[in-house]
Structure 1
Amino acid sequence: MEYSLNNEEMRKTLNSNHVPMARRGLGSKGAKIQLLANHFRVGLSKNDGYFYHYNVALCYQDGHAVEVKGVGRKVIDKLCETYDVLRNKNFAYDGEKSLFTLRSLHHKKQEFIVVLEEVSSTRVGSNPSEATKRMKHQSRSKTFKVEISHVSKIPLQEITDALRGQESEHYQEAFNFLDTILRQNAAKQGCLRIHKSYFHDNQKNITNLEGGIQCCRGFHSSFRVTQRGLSLNVDVSTTLLVKPGPVVDFLLQNQNVQKPNLIDWTKAKRMLKNLRIKANNTQRKITGLSEKSCMTQNFLFKHGNDANGEVQSSEITIYEYFKRHKKIELCYSVDMPCINVGKPKRPIYYPMELCTLVSLQRYTKPLAHKQRAQLILESRTSPRERKEALQYSLRNSRYGDEPMLRSLGITIEPSFTQVDGRVLQPPTLIVGRGQNFCPRNGSWNFNDKKLIEPVKIKRWAIVNFSSQCDTKHLCSMIKKCSEMKGMLIDPPFDIFEEDIRHRNESPFARVARMYEMVKAKLPGPPTHPLAQLLLCILPVSRNCNIYGPWKRRCLVDEGIATQCIAPTKINDHYIINVLLKINAKLGGMNSFLLTEFKHSIPLFSKIPTLVIGMDVSHGSQGQSEALSIAAVVSSRCWPQISRYKAVVRTQSSKVEIVQSLFKPVSDTKDDGIISELLKDFQTTSGVKPQQIIIFRDGVSESQFNQVLNIELNEIIKACKCYDESWCPKFTLIVAQKNHHTRFFKANSPQENVSPGTVIDNTICHPKDNDFYMCAHAGRIGTSRPTHYHVLYDEIGFSADNLQEFVHSLCYVHQRSTNAISIVAPIYYADLAAAQIAQFIKYDESENLSSHNEFISQIPTELPRLHERVADSMFFC
């Protein structure tokens, strides 16, 4: 069934605050299968009465706001002991600003004074008066002002309405209330909370990795509204922690050195900043390190008054102070800096050997390749292991004992939710010589197949930065495998070997030197490229510092297609996979969908249709100020659906909404991403698209309205600017991978769900148009489905047509012989952003003279790809 919609009526709604569209129906195609989902049904017996939302404002006695995490719960606990306002009342407090109760506190605003007693050790600083005050009092107290003010009174019926998909004014507040109860429950058990995931320091959950870090397994827990009602989504989560223990031991492991005198203290200062330590039974946050060693760092020590009452003070080193006045003989840290837990102008120093890192501290710095590989390995769990871990986590969470949940009449069933799944048939593919075949279990191979559109490569060369690769054997295998696949590849013009003497130079110098060699032997007319292809052999496959500079030189400066490899074992399988990438980069095609080849894709092949994939890539963990990169890819050569062009732009750090879709007024030649892609589609297809299907990756439910009312509007504006009389239809779909829903086979818990599995019932939203799809075969760990949300649809897809279309787009990825887990346009956008990000990454490494100059030196605009490769699938 297809839906015919009034284009203008739909378009008018975009001028107001648009909300995601409602579901039109369920799909029916595919073989039915019984599945289990990690959603646990929630019963709610109480729906009369109200809950009350209060704002909590904490400040010190001097009026400064409390910014230290973890203090809020201690203050509220003390308030309960001191005053009657919350005593014997059930409440949920999020540890920061929100407090919820089931009974009114009767006052709109109340203020309280709370005193927390703490045990304090003497701390050594440069301010003598401060030091003297602290030395006089071994115990000290902190006074807090607590202001509790009424925000809203909300009927419990709001939660019941939410179960029916009825969004009201307090819909989000109702769910914040429920999630706050879960947070409070975890806080009582001493968990580390990261968003909606919780981690215990139970050693059974922790695995040591290299570099002084640990992988900690915890659980995610959140309430979800589903077609079946309210459910609790519980899943396995992992995070990285700093290994607790002596600070020096951590630094030795982190920097992989054997002796303390080999520690790089500049790196150590960056690594330790903001971590919490325990010294003399006191927890403090590290703000820096002393400039001098413990043996030579002086401070003014006040040691009493003379006969006239004047203060007597003298300079003393940290070492001497602890030896004379604390009777502590320092050993191995005397030549090390001291840890500063004070402010820059009022430092408070502790000797390094007296400090230990406390447990459950999140590690947020970038990971080395080996650490990342270890993390991935530790994060994988088979379906059976994951199910057992979820049942264990649900039991240990003790939600049945939580007073607030009991007061609300909330019960949580211990069994997984049963759902009806359907397994879609894989699309038929066509390869060379008209050979059709149907993939099995989400994969296929090219062993006995030829490429459908192979390229001819006459002028190419190999550049070798590695001493490990046997280039003679490599050329032999390329010749053999290319003939098997129908590619005509002449022998390489030359093989350029890097001189071993230059391998300690900077990556940019090595690349420049190699290009000098290439240009000297591969001369050509100025307007033509040196070669069709440069095959680059790297010394290592991951995080190679040659990769970024080499890609930039080839794609930006020279306009030459390049393929980088770092083979550890050269065989037919490896070479064929490399040839698939090369063929796609140079304009060939490896396979087509049969429906694409025969122009029979429903709602696509008969009407000119543009498919767009959009993604925004942010700086990696530990790179909070790095520019974000927006990548948009679009289909070309309609009615094909397997060829794509990518456009990439930088934008403000951590901004998720794409900022360069449309530029109405510009002094540059850049009139926006969409305009560039529309021109390409019309050039390669001969027509303007009458339909535009947009796949958007990486946004959460809270950003759906921004995607609808900002990004889609910008795309519509770009279309109007391109041709004011032209009015294409739009369909907008968000794809999410970062969620916690997993599916298990009801009858085979040890197996992953079959590729092509789709679910649009039971645990999906009661009103919104969403579905889950697991297009790929999960061979390691537990398969993670992609969650698709159809936010807007003028084209009028039926549920079956759209699900089959999405499924087919997981089989057009040209560099793979497996169905991928998300539609190819999004996957390509992610690849393009990641590859172009290397330009920025190595611009930083070349231009930065110190870590502190990081922000000012980041380039604000990406270099544009050379016109010879700009339209290619360089990202394959």
Structure 2
Amino acid sequence: MRAVMLAISTDTRRSDCNLIVFMSSGGGKKSRKGRKHQQSSGPSGVQEGMDRDDRSSNATREGPSLSTSVSPGPSSGLDVSSSSKEAIVPSETARQKKSHPKLVSTSPLSEEVSKLSLTNVSIPSRPDKGGKEGKPTTVTVNCWDFSVQPKVLYMYRAEVNKVSRINDKDAVKCEIRMSPKDKRDLISHITQKLPKMIVYDGGHDIYSLERLPGITTDPVKKEKDNLTKQNMSSGGGKKSRKGRKHQQSSGPSLSTSVSPGPSSGLDVSSSSKEAIVPSETARQKKSHPKLVSTSPLSEEVSKLSLTNVSIPSRPDKGGKEGKPTTVTVNCWDFFVQPKVLYMYRAEVNKVSRINDKDAVKCEIRMSPKDKRDLISHITQKLPKMIVYDGGHDIYSLERLPGVTTDPVKKEVSISDPLGRGNLLLEYQIMEVKKVSTDDVYEYVRNPKATSLNIPQESIRLLDCILKTVSKQSFVSLGRAALFQEEPIKVVSEKLFSIHKGFISSVRPQWKVRVNLDMTCKAFFVSGNLADVMYEKYGDNMVKYSKEMAFDLRRIRVETDKFYKSDNGSVYSRRFTVHGISSSPADKLMIDELKQSVAEYFKEHHHIVLKYPYLPCVKVDQKRDVYIPMELLNILPYQSPNASKADVASEVIRCAAVRPAERFRELQNFVNNMFKSHPLIKQFSLSIQPKPAEIKARVIQPPTADFGRSGVRPLKAGSFNSPGFHDPAGKERELMWAILSVPPNKLAQGNAQKAIAELLKAAKRFGVRLSPCPIVSHCPKRELNRKFEEFSKQGCAFLLLILYDEQCYSEIKRLSDLQMGIRTQCVRSRTLSKPNVFPNLLLKLNGKLGGVNWRIPGLIKSSEELIMVFGADVTHPAPTQIQQIRKSVAAVIGSVSPDLMRYAVVVRQQATTEKGNKATREIIDDMRLTVKELLQLYLRNTNGRFPTRMIFYRDGVSEGQFENVLVEELAAIQRACADIRPGVEPAITYIVVQKRHHIRLKPFDSRARNVEPGTVVDTDITHPREFDFYLCSQEGIQGTSKPAHYHVLYDDSNWTSDALQMFTYYLCYGYMRCCR
């Protein structure tokens, strides 16, 4: 195809027009448009004012497609010659101004072009440092800095010429006709036969780190005759499209990095997170490693190591502020003899049943979970002195014979748990590494050990040993907890039961200790299916077939033993519930046999049903296969199908155990842990009989400024607000509305009561609300229309009375994401509770821009500006539709100097490199998010930049410290540099961990819970790093759970007392309640 581009320039000093024509040619199939351009090509010049006949005559000429030009006017700076862009001839004016190479020739243009070389080309440099005119602004561009470790790869080009199918009988090859696209898709199968360290572009090109044997620069014909029919198909076997995509893109793991910003205090290199360079401010205060190099970033990456990452040590010997006290912690000193164990990894590949008659193997389809559960049977065939973690890992005191570091395929025969003869397990096992029980003790003794090099494998081994010796009277579910077989509570109407369990984990604190805690978990009710459903629905179960089908969705059941094998023995089978019949067993007909289900079981299985009037269970998704309910049993320990709210409320109620009772249960578990097990003697296991008693302090609560009501000292844990510091509606009355969702007969009366009570509370706190709000009601489907009406009427907020709590998520989606209108929801049943409207007003005043109270103790100096951030990532629960599993990141930041007003940025996370099955904890757009919050802060502080930034990060485990320290902290520092280059505020980055199992009990037996403000920074903390436990809330029920604060970065020189008091005081700035 030939293309024509016209460039027209007009000289303002002359009337003539300069016309430049560029032409290029190409072959192949041409569209109509392409053919039209082809006809218009030619070597002749183009003249201005050419008429249609002249153009058509020129179009008939054929010739080489060289670019031609009309000589420019005196003000034109360039002569352009040759479509190959090999020469630029400047105009006379340009030659007088700049020393470009002078190329003058009287020879024809085609001859001149051939004489020019690339060295003659000169592109002008920027004449200055860039423009200055116009209003400065900042934009975000969709480009990310990127670098890669220097590597030289060999590029190969592959093409499938012919595809044949081999006849199984006579081995004759029969050619298959395929389109070029289908042939190209088969190249991915060729790459599987090549070395692993290759990169495939999905087309014809293959890149390899090593030279492929037998391949030169000349085309080499090869033949791959072992492609099966399965992987020759478009589906590629059982791989999904996504799976094939990942398969094709496999290749060497080259390290990549993001280049740091110009004044960012943290230089980050390599995706392996191997280096941190502190800011200039940090270097002046602390001896962090300094990494300076003039070499390219990609070269610098290869030189960095994990030792460059530094977590700050504790600045002192711990805090001193507060009342000294003693608490009991649920940790026991633990001792084990040093041993080195061999770690193996096992995986079941295939499960077969052996036919008793002819010994023929018949493969059984099993889920990955069921195959993993069979590994416990494999461990029973191994030597006795092994430890199994409940997953894929096995630890042995002696090296297993015949097992090496390469996967070894083995077979073992076990008895079928369902009673149907024997099963043949085909599995592979390999040696992974050696693990020592003493590594964790060495870690505690090492003065240079940090949270970045915790011996996780050694801790996992000790956890497995503890679980193995203590699970004799418990049920082991996975790696974490041991549960009692009998439930502590059965909620029949919701079809779930609650089981009590115990969690144990080895913790490297100042000593090696075992952290033990109680836990409660809900499971679907187990037992005979007919009995279970009778407890909820009674005798009239046929009427509730749809409800029962919903309750039993995806539940696994096991039949009684009425199936007969070839040798006459009976066995059971397992199924998944796919529905409930609308007819009872004595009326549900089998069309092929012209008999009912009840008659079928009587004739074929000699079973007379006790309850033929009950419905049957559909156990096949595609076919109508039904089994009577009384012959099915629900398998234990399955996830409940009840609503999350119902399950959570019951679990919390059962888990809310007072400290004295909790520690008594834990002590009984410890006493029974080491009764009789061969591993106890083998490892010389011992545990202290009593939990650790440690020193703690109780920090006094701060004072609060309530505006006109004055400054008052606050009561620890909870207090009452006499008034608001800055009530909303100072300038004018706020218009508002009440909406009942959905319509209800009590809506009118409840709305009038809500108006009276809310206006009464607003008058008390000084919030000016309109005495005549809009009162309305609507069904859920009309919420969008109602919200638009209220928005047009200028309502400051909506008070929604909910008669159906399932509307809540839709209301918040419309208000927060779509309409941008403030809402406050309240359940209809809570309207009669005391203090409900004063508590609602606490939330409303903050949403409307007011300030309920101030904490003067947070700010020590008016010259110092502190900005506080908080961040967390919410991960979705596992779903069958993996495509919608996206995590959501939320970051809040203070936007006022008094730290009482906050703004929030919420963003959806991107998927990870592992796909949707794994979620990403690192916040993707941290740099952009922090920039947005900083800009809001600057608007409210007249452009004054914060001198300190404190970042509280939730949801990060110890294994993710390195990733967070490198990626997110760097993003924060770059965001500061983007907004104000050269300004480097002191940054403190703190990880807040709540999902731990540390519990504190007051030493005084008369006390119910530890006091609010209790802080612990010794004994159970890291022996050298800056971390502490703080219990800031009042324990209303159960046992108080302290938050664990771990400082990962600090160039503010915080002392233990200062940071602990600031964190505790900050908790009192929570505006939604006085607790």
Give the TM-score category using the shorter length.
0.7 to 0.9
Does 572-581 or 411-420 show the bigger shift? 572-581
Partner in structure 2 of residue 719 of structure 1: 976
Partner in structure 1 of residue 803 of structure 2: 539
- Equivalent pairs, count: 735
CA distance 1:441–1:659, change in 2 (3 Å): closer
CA distance 1:16–1:708, change in 2 (3 Å): farther
Q: Does 1:226 align with 2:509?
A: yes
Q: Partners in 2 of 1:429 and 1:608 — Cα distance?
A: 19
TM-score (norm 1): 0.76
Q: Partners in 2 of 1:269 and 1:449 — Cα distance?
A: 50
Partner in structure 1 of residue 954 of structure 2: 697
| Superposition map of 1:754-769 within 5 A | 754-769=1011-1026
Partner in structure 1 of residue 848 of structure 2: 586
CA distance 1:4–1:647, change in 2 (3 Å): closer
Spell out, residue by residue over 1:620-668, the C-alpha distance to the aligned partner (whole angstroms, 9 max, x if none).
587885432211100112x2111100111122466242444257xxxxx
| Superposition map of 1:266-665 within 5 A | 268=549, 271-280=552-561, 284-289=573-578, 319-330=598-609, 332=611, 336-340=615-619, 350-359=627-636, 361-365=637-641, 367=643, 369-396=645-672, 398-433=673-708, 435-446=710-721, 448-456=722-730, 458-465=733-740, 467=746, 469-494=749-774, 496-498=775-777, 505=779, 507-509=780-782, 511-512=783-784, 514-515=786-787, 518=790, 530-539=794-803, 544-566=805-827, 568-570=830-832, 573-596=835-858, 599-600=859-860, 606-619=863-876, 625=882, 626-637=885-896, 639-651=897-909, 652=911, 655-662=919-926
Superposed displacement of residue 414, structure 1: 1.9
* RMSD of Structure 2 on Structure 1 (CA): 3.4
Give the one of 939, 950, 962 matched to 1:683. Answer: 939
Superposed displacement of residue 347, structure 1: 9.6
Partner in structure 1 of residue 330 of structure 2: 38
Superposed displacement of residue 406, structure 1: 2.7
Spell out, residue by residue over 1:582-608, the C-alpha distance to the aligned partner (whole angstroms, 9 max, x if none).
111111101000234xx416xxx5433
Spell out, residue by residue over 1:59-112, the C-alpha distance to the aligned partner (whole angstroms, 9 max, x if none).
3366999641432212321x14xxxxx1xx422112332111223335443665
Q: Does 1:102 align with 2:409?
A: no
User: Retained in 1: the 8 A contact 2:787–2:819?
Assistant: no
CA distance 1:450–1:182, change in 2 (3 Å): same
Q: Partners in 2 of 1:514 and 1:257 — Cα distance?
A: 43
Q: Partners in 2 of 1:623 and 1:60 — Cα distance?
A: 24
SS of the aligned residue for 1:549 comes to helix
CA distance 1:75–1:724, change in 2 (3 Å): same
Query: What letter is aligned with 1:701?
Result: E
Query: What letter is aligned with 1:533?
Result: F
Partner in structure 2 of residue 237 of structure 1: 519
User: Retained in 2: the 8 A contact 1:508–1:546?
Assistant: no
Q: Partners in 1 of 2:894 and 2:427 — Cα distance?
A: 58
CA distance 1:407–1:536, change in 2 (3 Å): same
Query: What letter is aligned with 1:735?
Result: V
Partner in structure 2 of residue 6 of structure 1: 284
User: Retained in 1: the 8 A contact 2:951–2:990?
Assistant: yes
SS of the aligned residue for 2:971 comes to helix
Runs (5+) with no aligned partner, structure 2? 1-280, 292-300, 353-362, 563-570
Q: Partners in 2 of 1:333 and 1:751 — Cα distance?
A: 55
Superposed displacement of residue 776, structure 1: 1.0
Q: Partners in 2 of 1:283 and 1:766 — Cα distance?
A: 56
SS of the aligned residue for 2:460 comes to helix
SS of the aligned residue for 1:261 comes to helix
SS of the aligned residue for 2:1020 comes to coil
Runs (5+) with no aligned partner, structure 1? 81-85, 122-138, 301-313, 525-529, 664-671, 819-876
Larger radius of gyration: 2
User: Retained in 1: the 8 A contact 2:288–2:310?
Assistant: no
**Percent identical residues:** 26
User: Retained in 2: the 8 A contact 1:459–1:493?
Assistant: no
Spell out, residue by residue over 1:291-332, the C-alpha distance to the aligned partner (whole angstroms, 9 max, x if none).
9776667699xxxxxxxxxxxxx8987555422121112364
Spell out, residue by residue over 1:405-459, the C-alpha distance to the aligned partner (whole angstroms, 9 max, x if none).
332222011201011000011111111226111112321102x445344533514
Superposed displacement of residue 211, structure 1: 0.9
User: Retained in 2: the 8 A contact 1:56–1:99?
Assistant: yes
Q: Partners in 2 of 1:258 and 1:97 — Cα distance?
A: 45
Give the one of 484, 496, 500 matched to 1:200. Answer: 484
SS of the aligned residue for 1:575 comes to helix
| Superposition map of 1:12-91 within 5 A | 17=306, 18=309, 20-25=311-316, 26-44=318-336, 46-47=337-338, 49-60=339-350, 67-68=369-370, 69-77=372-380, 79-80=381-382, 86=383, 89-91=384-386
Give the one of 1055, 1068, 1072 matched to 1:798. Answer: 1055
SS of the aligned residue for 2:976 comes to helix
Q: Partners in 1 of 2:1019 and 2:483 — Cα distance?
A: 29
Superposed displacement of residue 766, structure 1: 2.3
Superposed displacement of residue 386, structure 1: 1.0
SS of the aligned residue for 1:263 comes to helix
Query: What letter is aligned with 1:224?
Result: R
Query: What letter is aligned with 1:683?
Result: R
CA distance 1:75–1:563, change in 2 (3 Å): same
Superposed displacement of residue 265, structure 1: 4.3
CA distance 1:120–1:418, change in 2 (3 Å): closer
Q: Partners in 2 of 1:169 and 1:476 — Cα distance?
A: 61
Give the one of 95, 101, 115 matched to 2:413. Answer: 115
CA distance 1:264–1:724, change in 2 (3 Å): farther
User: Retained in 1: the 8 A contact 2:754–2:831?
Assistant: no
Partner in structure 1 of residue 58 of structure 2: none
Q: Partners in 1 of 2:490 and 2:895 — Cα distance?
A: 48
SS of the aligned residue for 2:835 comes to helix
TM-score (norm 2): 0.63
More RCO (CA 8 Å, sep 6+): 1
Partner in structure 2 of residue 215 of structure 1: 498
CA distance 1:744–1:102, change in 2 (3 Å): same
Q: Partners in 1 of 2:954 and 2:801 — Cα distance?
A: 32
SS of the aligned residue for 2:991 comes to strand
Query: What letter is aligned with 1:23?
Result: R
Q: Partners in 1 of 2:612 and 2:762 — Cα distance?
A: 62
Q: Does 1:162 align with 2:443?
A: yes
User: Retained in 2: the 8 A contact 1:616–1:630?
Assistant: yes
Partner in structure 1 of residue 465 of structure 2: 181
CA distance 1:372–1:159, change in 2 (3 Å): closer
Partner in structure 1 of residue 247 of structure 2: none
Query: What letter is aligned with 1:118?
Result: D
User: Retained in 2: the 8 A contact 1:61–1:143?
Assistant: yes
Q: Partners in 2 of 1:624 and 1:234 — Cα distance?
A: 36
Q: Partners in 2 of 1:744 and 1:4 — Cα distance?
A: 39
Superposed displacement of residue 269, structure 1: 6.2
Spell out, residue by residue over 1:802-858, the C-alpha distance to the aligned partner (whole angstroms, 9 max, x if none).
11111111100012111xxxxxxxxxxxxxxxxxxxxxxxxxxxxxxxxxxxxxxxx
Q: Partners in 2 of 1:770 and 1:624 — Cα distance?
A: 40
User: Retained in 2: the 8 A contact 1:32–1:420?
Assistant: yes
CA distance 1:463–1:339, change in 2 (3 Å): same
Q: Partners in 1 of 2:1060 and 2:825 — Cα distance?
A: 35
Q: Partners in 2 of 1:230 and 1:321 — Cα distance?
A: 64
Query: What letter is aligned with 1:175?
Result: I
User: Retained in 2: the 8 A contact 1:458–1:532?
Assistant: no
Q: Partners in 2 of 1:624 and 1:375 — Cα distance?
A: 27
Superposed displacement of residue 163, structure 1: 3.1
Query: What letter is aligned with 1:37?
Result: V
